[in-house]
Amino acid sequence: MLRGNLSFDIAHLLAGSLVLLSFMQLYQYRLYALLNVYALHALALAASVGWQAFIQGAPHLYVTAVIALVFKAIIIPTALHRIIVRLGIHREIETVVGVGPTMLLGMGLVALSMVVMLRVTAAADPLAREDLAFALAVVLLGLLMMVTRRNAVSQVVGFMSLENGLVLAATGAKGMPLVVEISVAFSVLIAFIVIGIFLFRIRERFDTVDIQALDRFRGERQ
């Protein structure tokens, strides 16, 4: 029983740290710092998935953990670092909403996900319940990040942390098939986005990666 409690506590800790790191992303002004926090986020995900693989005795989840570690925590942040240096936008992030309101909104979203998920999953086993609640919180915080930021790179970071929440949910759902396939599919998606930023040379085309500048090109306003 002791071991059961311990494994629960560690899983809880790791999933909780994901939510905390999602919060930390919300108030990062600088793109560099944001990318570093994201790398930590992916690291926490890798640890969490690895721990789930261990306690569920599901070896295929280790693949997902390794993907999270290598691809999301190392390759993608490094690539994005390079891109923002190349584009010369490593200074500041503009936020649409200030940090204070964003944090308050974030807290509201976390509370919402706790209320919703804990209430509806009363019958499920406690670990899956808490994981799901945390995962929803991470997903909603990722969405919040995507709406409050204007910069294309930070929107992508928001999307990636949202996706980390989904992987957390998928691994928390015990015995769910296709988790590995889905995490691979998502990695492909993210790789596309990052390549998209770079290859399409959004900066060259639009002179900025500020999404607001893109609005100028809306077909109706010519």
Partner 1 sequence: MIDGLMGVLIIPIVAATLFTLLPRYRLTARLNIVAAFLTFVTASSLFVVEPRSGPYLLVDDLNKVFIVLTTFVGFTTSVFSASYIGHEIENGRLTPASVRFYHAMYQVLMFAMNLALVANNIGLMWVAIEVATLTTVLMVGIYRTHEALEAAWKYFILGSVGIALALFGTILVYMAARPVIGEGIDAMVWSTLVKHASQFDPALLNVAFVFLLLGYGTKVGLAPLHAWLPDAHAEGPTPISAVLSGLLLNVALYALLRFKMLLALNPAAIAPGPLMVIMGLISCLFAAFMLYRRRDIKRMFAYSSIEHMGIIVFAFGMGGVLANFAGLLHMTMHSLTKSAIFFAVGHIAQVKGTQKIADMGGLTVTNPLLGWGLVLGVVAIAGLPPLGIFMSEFLVVSSTFAREPWLAIILALGILVALGGLFLRLNSIAFGAPRGPTAKAEASYVPMFLHLALVFIAGIYMPAPLVKGFENVARLLG
Residues lying near partner 1 in the complex (CB under 8 A):
116-117, 119-124, 128, 132, 135-136, 139, 143, 146, 152, 155, 159, 162-163, 166, 169-170, 173-178, 181-182, 185, 189, 192-193, 196, 200, 202, 205-206, 214, 217-220
When the beta carbons of 29 and 217 are compared against partner 1, the nearer one is 217
When the beta carbons of 2 and 123 are compared against partner 1, the nearer one is 123
Helix (H) or strand (E) holding 99: helix 99-120
When the beta carbons of 18 and 170 are compared against partner 1, the nearer one is 170
d(CA 3, CA 193): 42
When the beta carbons of 57 and 100 are compared against partner 1, the nearer one is 57
Work out how close the CB of 150 gets to partner 1 at its nearest, in angstroms, rounded to a whole number. 12
Work out how close the CB of 222 gets to partner 1 at its nearest, in angstroms, rounded to a whole number. 8
φ, ψ of residue 149 in degrees (nearest 5):
-105, 150
Work out how close the CB of 123 gets to partner 1 at its nearest, in angstroms, rounded to a whole number. 6
φ, ψ of residue 23 in degrees (nearest 5):
-60, -40
Work out how close the CB of 2 gets to partner 1 at its nearest, in angstroms, rounded to a whole number. 25
CA neighbours closer than 13 Å in the CB half-sphere of residue 128? 13
Task: Compute how many other C-beta atoms are within 10 angstroms of the C-beta atom of residue 60.
Answer: 12
**Radius of gyration, alpha carbons of the chain:** 18
When the beta carbons of 68 and 162 are compared against partner 1, the nearer one is 162
Residue 134 and residue 16 in contact, taking contact as beta carbons nearer than 8 Å: yes
When the beta carbons of 73 and 162 are compared against partner 1, the nearer one is 162
Query: Between vectors from CA 94 to CA 38 and to CA 70, what angle results, nearest 5°?
Result: 15
Work out how close the CB of 168 gets to partner 1 at its nearest, in angstroms, rounded to a whole number. 10
d(CA 71, CA 150): 25
d(CA 21, CA 127): 20
Quote the distance between the C-alpha of residue 147 and its chain's center: 14
Work out how close the CB of 82 gets to partner 1 at its nearest, in angstroms, rounded to a whole number. 20
